[in-house]
């Protein structure tokens, strides 16, 4: 009997400067059949370029972005500032999940300022977290 794989969502993007953390999250998402297509970026600037060029080509946008905060050159918030400049109708259906090991209260304050940063999870993401994320889709 052929077991049909069903995914929670189609497309997910991961942005994290740390290659080990990219690997860990990618593996968790795969093990839980969370997304059909996972694109990974260790550079937020490249992730942004990818999104910008794709939206002009009218490509399918990821439905979810897992975003780290502490990254060199461009941090998660700077990424979000640029991301939010993309027209509303394109980013409307993209949920941003912040995934970090920060404990700085200022980071939590900043997160509140972003309407599309829907949820915050502490690293490492667990299977239970994915269940919770699924409920808000």
Partner 1 sequence: MVNPNTNIFLLENALDNLLEGFQIISPEWKYLYVNKSVIKQSKCNSKEDLIGFTMMEKFPGIENTKLFKVLSRCMLKGNSKYFENKFDFPDGTQGWFELRIEPIPQGLFILSIDITERKQAEKEIEIKSADLLKANAELDRFVYSVAHDLRSPLTSILGLLSFIEQDDNEFEKIKHLNLIKSRIEKMDEFIKNVLSYSKNNRIEVKVQNISIRKEIDDKLNIYKNLLESNMIDIQLEIDQSVPFYCDHTRFSMIIENLISNAIKYHDPKKSNRYIKIKGNADINVVNLIFEDNGIGIPYKHQDKIFKMFYRVSNQIPGSGLGLFIVKETLEKLGGKIWVDSIPKIKTSFNCEIRNYLS
Least distance (Å) between residue 99 CB and partner 1: 10
Least distance (Å) between residue 137 CB and partner 1: 23
Q: Is 10 in the site for partner 1 (CB under 8 A)?
A: no
Tokens describing residue 38: 């996972």
Angle, alpha carbons 74-80-82 (nearest 5°): 80
Ranges within 12-71 binding partner 1 (CB under 8 A): 17-18, 20-21, 23-24, 27-28, 42-43, 70-71
Tokens describing residue 90: 């394109």
When computed from its CA atoms, the radius of gyration of the chain, rounded to whole angstroms, is 15
Buried-state track 52-64, b at ≥16 Cβ within 10 A, e below 16: eeeeeeeeebbbb
Residue from the set 122, 131, 132, 137 that interacts with partner 1 by CB under 8 A: 122
Residue from the set 37, 126, 132, 134 that interacts with partner 1 by CB under 8 A: 126
Distance, C-alpha 78 to centroid of its chain: 14
Closest CA to 99 of 69, 71, 75, 77: 69
Among the listed ranges 55-63, 79-87, 89-97, 103-111, the one in contact with partner 1 (CB under 8 A) is 103-111
Residues 6+ apart with CB under 8 A from 26: 14, 38, 40
Nearer to partner 1, 55 or 123 (CB): 123
Nearer to partner 1, 56 or 126 (CB): 126
Q: Is 124 in the site for partner 1 (CB under 8 A)?
A: yes
Q: Which residues bind partner 1 (CB under 8 A)?
A: 17-18, 20-21, 23-24, 27-28, 42-43, 70-73, 100-104, 106, 122-126
């Amino acid at each position: 009997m052929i077991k049909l794989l069903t995914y929670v969502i189609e497309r997910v993007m991961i942005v994290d400067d740390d290659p080990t953390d990219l690997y860990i999250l990618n593996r968790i998402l795969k093990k839980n059949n969370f997304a059909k297509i996972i694109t990974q970026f260790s550079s937020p600037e490249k992730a942004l370029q990818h999104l910008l060029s794709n939206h002009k080509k009218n490509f399918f946008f990821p439905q979810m972005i897992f975003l780290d905060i502490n990254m060199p050159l461009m941090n998660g918030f700077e990424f979000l500032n640029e991301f939010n400049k993309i027209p509303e109708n394109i980013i409307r259906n993209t949920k941003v999940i912040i995934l970090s090991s920060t404990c700085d209260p200022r980071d939590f304050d900043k997160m509140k300022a972003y309407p599309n940063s829907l949820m915050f999870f502490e690293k490492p993401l667990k299977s239970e977290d994915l269940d919770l994320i699924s409920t808000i889709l």
